């Protein structure tokens, strides 16, 4: 094994990473993640592959291998070589990322691309960056000057940020086409990419990862967002030799909400004023965002949706292992190995008292009964949840820190040479259905709008039935009558041209008939 290499894994758990350093190794060491919700240390069960790959294309010393992430970032800070981050988009999620990163050691928001420069300044100020340390840049060389002076550059042109001397591009526009364009440009410029815009990831993330792999850079989901955190639980379970029966998120949703539109957001969420993105919140309200996040998890793990649109059961937290199991065990699943969202409210709108709203879970099975029985014997002493009927166990994380956790992704990329998961295939897609009857000439307004809602489905079904991905519905023109709840297909709408559409067309034409 070569000096400064680690054993290669398809996806390395954040709980532990087996590392071998130097040429004379007598025992492996382990890098422990500071995650209070995952207290186990994986020491012997990671899938081993003797193929050695470099860590960030540089030699990793023994001391670096023994350090946890925080110590590595401290070391970068003391040595004056912080990770240089470029963020595109200073919306809600982007501002959280920016404000948190600015408070971290060993990392800098070196450049921020945002059409509203006032918003860009505000985001940096929330991170404690004084106005005199923020400069406007109209060329990439001016951004490089700012990097050299340890200042933060702001620009309205994302291309300048991408062409500068940053290390990682964080795409946080929330726009499918823009996100795809920025990711392709960043990969072509040999920059690592963190795709916060999950709406783009579920459409072309598998293709972007292929491009990144070919270019020798990394493409990752965003830690702190639900798909990456659920993927972490999936990876933890598989690394230990468990089988994942179901994985996903908890949320407040019922299928009857699917016709809600932006005009319903204020009432349903209790908002006052107008300082919020009604269409973005409309996507959560009508269930589209839940479908998108679970599709991202599906594409990163190979878990599949059990049914179109998911079940959205409303179990008590302690009931989840007995609900999310196969029907022959008394559960609701037609098959196991699925993505699923659990609701925190029942059809009568009553709240589930002990619920998983905002959290992530994985229901797991073991090769033999010993592991589950052993854990169950401890019961509440260790907070164990097992199914009385299924004899499955569940690991869960009760919350996520959204954009405030996301900087961990860039840190892992640059320190350990690992991602937080990515689309390895196109297992699932999010298709669109009509919120109301649509007539020729109607123009669709996409995710969270007035015309369509999203449903997760298998990607092979979507291809076979010529279903249009939700991410391509923005600006599409209806060409034939579509009934309420009718699905949007390439035969009843004309899709607007875009880079994501072009990439999917190229992929389709490249596949053998």
Report pLDDT digits (tens) over 381-421.
Answer: 999 999 999 999 999 999 999 999 999 999 999 999 999 99
Pairing status of strand 385-386 against strand 428-434:
unpaired
| Total-model pTM | 0.87
Q: What is the pLDDT of residue 274?
A: 83
Please choose, from the candidates 198, 327, 238, 306, the residue with its C-alpha nearest in 3D space to the C-alpha of residue 45.
238
- The token pair at 501 is 């559409």
Q: What is the pLDDT of residue 37?
A: 38
Distance CA 197, CA 92 (A): 12
Distance of CA 346 to the CA centre of its chain: 27
Question: Is-contact 16 42, C-beta < 8 A?
Answer: yes
Q: Which residue has the tokens 């297992």?
A: 427
**Structural domains of the chain in order of their starting residue, each with its CATH number:** 1-67 (no CATH), 83-223+403-416 (3.40.50.720), 227-401 (no CATH), 428-510 (3.90.1210)
The residue ranges of the chain whose pLDDT is under 70 are: 1-67, 512-513
- Residue 129 backbone dihedrals phi, psi, to 5 degrees: -85, 120
CA distances from 492 to 438, 449, 467, 485, 488 (A): 10, 19, 10, 14, 7
> How does DSSP assign 31-84, residue by residue?
EEP--TT------S-SPP---EEEBTTBPPPHHHHHS-HHHHHHHHHHHT--EE
Q: Could you report the per-residue pLDDT of 447-457, keeping only the tens digit for each?
A: 999 999 999 99
Please choose, from the candidates 428, 439, 410, the residue with its C-alpha nearest in 3D space to the C-alpha of residue 82.
410
How many other CB atoms sit within 10 Å of the CB of residue 251?
Answer: 23
Per DSSP, 55 falls in state: B
Q: Is 338 left (phi over 0), alpha (psi -120 to 50) or beta?
A: beta
Q: Which residue has the tokens 């709840």?
A: 485
Question: Is-contact 227 293, C-beta < 8 A?
Answer: yes
Strand ranges inside 192-261, DSSP E:
192-195, 219-220, 243-251
């Amino acid at each position: 094994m070569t000096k400064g290499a680690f054993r290669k894994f398809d996806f390395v758990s954040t709980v532990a990473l087996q590392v071998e350093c130097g040429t004379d190794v007598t025992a492996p060491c382990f890098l422990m993640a500071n995650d209070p919700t995952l207290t186990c240390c994986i020491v012997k069960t990671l899938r081993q592959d003797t193929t050695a790959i470099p860590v960030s294309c540089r030699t990793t010393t023994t001391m670096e291998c023994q350090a946890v992430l925080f110590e590595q970032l401290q070391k970068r800070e003391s040595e004056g070589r912080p990770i240089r981050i470029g963020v595109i988009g200073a919306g809600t999620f982007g501002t959280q990322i920016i404000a948190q990163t600015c408070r971290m050691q060993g990392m800098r928001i070196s450049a921020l691309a945002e059409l509203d420069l006032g918003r860009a300044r505000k985001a940096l100020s929330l991170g404690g960056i004084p106005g005199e340390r923020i400069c406007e840049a109209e060329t990439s060389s001016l951004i490089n000057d700012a990097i050299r002076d340890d200042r933060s550059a702001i620009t309205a042109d994302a291309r300048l940020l991408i062409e500068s001397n940053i290390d990682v591009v964080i795409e946080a526009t929330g726009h499918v086409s823009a996100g795809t364009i920025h990711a392709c440009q960043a990969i072509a410029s040999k920059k690592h990419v963190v795709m916060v815009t999950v709406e783009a990831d579920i459409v072309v993330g598998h293709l972007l990862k292929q491009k990144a792999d070919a270019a020798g850079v990394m493409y990752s989901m965003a830690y702190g967002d639900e798909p990456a955190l659920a993927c972490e639980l999936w990876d933890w379970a598989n690394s230990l030799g468990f089988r994942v029966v179901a994985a996903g998120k908890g949320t407040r949703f019922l299928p009857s909400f699917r016709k809600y539109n932006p005009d319903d957001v204020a009432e349903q969420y209790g908002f006052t004023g107008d300082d919020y993105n009604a269409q973005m919140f409309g996507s959560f309200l009508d269930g589209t965002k839940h479908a998108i996040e679970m599709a991202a998890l599906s594409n990163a793990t190979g878990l599949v949706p059990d049914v179109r649109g998911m079940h959205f059961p409303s179990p008590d937290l302690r009931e989840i292992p007995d609900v999310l199991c196969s029907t022959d065990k008394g559960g609701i699943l037609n098959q196991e190995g699925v993505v699923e969202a659990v609701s925190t409210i029942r059809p009568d709108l009553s709240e589930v008292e002990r619920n998983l709203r905002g959290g992530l879970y994985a229901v797991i099975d073991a090769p033999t009964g010993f592991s589950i029985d052993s854990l169950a014997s401890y019961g509440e002493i260790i907070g164990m949840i097992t199914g009385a009927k299924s004899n499955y166990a569940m690991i869960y994380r009760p919350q996520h820190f959204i954009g405030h956790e996301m900087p961990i992704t860039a840190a892992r990329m640059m320190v350990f040479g690992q991602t937080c998961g990515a689309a390895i295939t196109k297992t699932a897609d999010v298709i669109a259905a009509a919120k109301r009857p649509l007539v020729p000439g109607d123009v669709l307004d996409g995710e969270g709008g007035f015309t369509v809602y999203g449903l997760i489905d298998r990607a092979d079904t979507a291809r076979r039935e010529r279903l249009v991905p939700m991410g391509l519905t923005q600006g599409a023109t209806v060409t034939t009558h579509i009934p309420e709840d009718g699905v949007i297909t390439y035969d009843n709408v004309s899709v607007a041209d875009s880079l994501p559409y072009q990439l999917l067309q190229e992929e389709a034409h490249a596949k053998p008939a």
